[in-house]
Amino acid sequence: MNTLDFSAATSSDGVLERDFTIGGVPGVLWSPARDAGGGSERAPLVLMGHGGGTHKKAPAMAGRAARIVADCGFHVAVIDAPGHGDRPRTAYDEQEIALMQQAMATGEAVGPIVVRYNAHLAERAVPEWRATLDALQELPEIGSDGPVGYFGLNMGTAIGVPLVAADSRIGAAVFGIFWHDPLAETAKRIGVPIEFVLQWDDEHIPRASGLALFDAFASRDKTLHANAGAHKQVPRFEVDSAVRFFARHLGGTRRLGGGS
């Protein structure tokens, strides 16, 4: 079984940041910092998937993690997706990235390339995420029976939808900003609470496509957040809503050995 290999650790503003690798995949775990003698707490875990072209410690990831740790007392983990961050690119990665850059430079539709490439990344990333979750749940401060959530937009949704569909340990998820075609059938297998973010004026993803993906989820408890603006103009307050969503559905921290 793969185990977490922790390396660097830093603490700031009440948040402990620990770098790790598992099976050669680099990741980071943010947790509430423990004061000396304060005892360990077991708390829910939120897995976060980063967007395309970024990495596990991108400002958006670090900022969202800090909010979830500070406001909810939860743990947050991110791993680099294949071909991203500290991971090497394959020849196929290089080919698809070059095609995307060319399409954007010439004003051609980038969607078909993104959809195809992200589906390929998801096939590689879902088993890695499941192995990471196995290892994280071995930590005493997380535990094998604690609540788990998932938060990922854009490529984070392309990877997160098949992950949540495949792993019953994940009990709530925030998705959004992706096309419905490759994910709709998989979304039909998801019944956990969902919060879904959609940009009403997205220049890449047709409005009808985003709405169709939201509609495809089998969840009885699902909420659509539609905001005016382009693809990259997701309002910052959506993080506030995601924090409240996870607090509502994953519950609060609890001390090891029982208690609330």
How does pLDDT run across 114-152, given as a tens digit for each residue?
999 999 999 999 999 999 999 999 999 999 999 999 999
93: pLDDT strictly greater than 90: yes
Domain annotation covers residue 107:
no
Confidence at 40, pLDDT banded by 50, 70, 90: low
Domain of residue 11, CATH code:
3.40.50.1820
Please tell me what DSSP assigns to residue 35.
Answer: P
CA gap 25, 237 in Å, rounded: 31
Q: Are strands 41-42 and 25-32 parallel, antiparallel or unpaired?
A: unpaired
Please state at what angle helix 91-106 crosses helix 111-136, rounded to 10 degrees: 140
Domain residues for the domain of 184 are 5-91+120-255
Q: What is the pTM of this model?
A: 0.93
36: pLDDT strictly greater than 50: no
253: pLDDT strictly greater than 80: no
37: pLDDT strictly greater than 50: no
Bigger pLDDT: 167 vs 260? 167
Quote the number of domains for the chain: 1
Confidence at 166, pLDDT banded by 50, 70, 90: very high
Domain annotation covers residue 59:
yes
CA gap 12, 40 in Å, rounded: 18
Domain annotation covers residue 157:
yes
Three-state SS for 199?
A: strand
Show contacts of 122-126: CB within 8 Å, 24+ apart.
122/158, 122/159, 122/162, 122/163, 124/82, 125/49, 125/79, 125/81, 125/82, 125/159, 125/163, 126/159, 126/162, 126/163, 126/166
Please tell me what DSSP assigns to residue 125.
Answer: H
What's the average model confidence in pLDDT over 51-63? 95
What's the average model confidence in pLDDT over 19-36? 87
Domain annotation covers residue 98:
no
Confidence at 247, pLDDT banded by 50, 70, 90: very high
257: pLDDT strictly greater than 90: no
Task: List CB contacts of 187: < 8 A, sequence separation 6 or more.
Answer: 161, 165, 180, 213, 216, 217, 218
Token pair of 239, please?
């993080």
Three-state SS for 133?
A: helix
What's the average model confidence in pLDDT over 34-57? 80
CA gap 127, 81 in Å, rounded: 11
Domain annotation covers residue 100:
no
Domain annotation covers residue 216:
yes
* Average of per-residue pLDDT values in the chain: 92
Residue 135: its pLDDT value, please?
Answer: 96
What's the average model confidence in pLDDT over 237-242? 96
What's the average model confidence in pLDDT over 223-252? 94
Confidence at 35, pLDDT banded by 50, 70, 90: very low
How does pLDDT run across 222-232, given as a tens digit for each residue?
999 999 999 99
Residue 71: its pLDDT value, please?
Answer: 93
Domain annotation covers residue 231:
yes
Domain annotation covers residue 37:
yes
